[in-house]
C-alpha cells in the first residue's frame, strides 16, 4: 500500500495525522477529486450526441406505439371472432335442437 493510501486508511479509522501528513492527504484528495471530475466531464454527451440519442429515443417510442396499435388491433379482432364463434355455436345448437325435435 502506498504511503498516501496508508494515510487515508489511518484517517478513516479516526487516527490523528500530523499536520504534514494531513496536508499530503488533502492534496491527494484534491488530486483524486480532479481526476473524478475530469472523468465525469468526459462522459457528458456533446449536443450532437444528445440529439442523436433523442432521435433514437423518438424512433423507439414510434416503434412501441406501432406495436401497441398492432396489439390492440389483434385484440379487437380476437374479440370479434369470439363473439362470432359464440353466435355460430348458439345457431348450431339451435339447429341441432330443431332437427332433434
Residues 59 and 99 in one domain: yes
Residues 38 and 50 in one domain: no
- Number of domains the chain is built from: 2
| Assessment of whether the complete model's pTM goes beyond 0.85 | no
Q: What domain range includes position 37? A: 1-44
CA atoms of 51 and 61, how far apart (whole Å): 15
Residues 37 and 64 in one domain: no
Per-residue pLDDT, 40? 81
Query: What is the mean pLDDT of the segment spanning 67-91?
Result: 97
What is the chain's percent helix, strand, coil content, to nearest 5?
85, 0, 15
- Beta carbons within 8 Å of 45's beta carbon, 6+ residues apart: 53
Per-residue pLDDT, 100? 80
Residues 26 and 39 in one domain: yes
Residues 87 and 39 in one domain: no
Whether 93 shows a pLDDT value over 80: the answer reads yes
Whether 50 shows a pLDDT value over 70: the answer reads yes
Q: What percent of the chain has pLDDT over 70?
A: 98
Residues 35 and 55 in one domain: no
Amino acid at each position: 500500500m502506498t504511503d498516501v493510501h496508508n494515510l487515508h486508511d489511518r484517517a478513516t479509522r479516526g487516527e490523528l495525522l500530523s499536520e504534514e501528513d494531513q496536508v499530503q492527504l488533502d492534496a491527494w484528495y484534491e488530486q483524486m477529486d480532479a481526476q473524478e471530475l475530469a472523468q465525469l466531464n468526459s462522459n457528458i454527451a456533446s449536443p450532437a450526441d444528445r440529439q442523436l440519442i433523442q432521435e433514437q429515443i423518438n424512433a423507439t417510442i414510434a416503434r412501441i406505439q406501432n406495436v401497441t396499435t398492432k396489439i390492440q388491433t389483434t385484440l379487437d379482432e380476437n374479440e370479434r371472432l369470439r363473439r362470432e364463434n359464440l353466435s355460430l355455436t348458439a345457431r348450431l345448437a339451435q339447429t341441432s335442437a330443431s332437427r332433434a325435435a
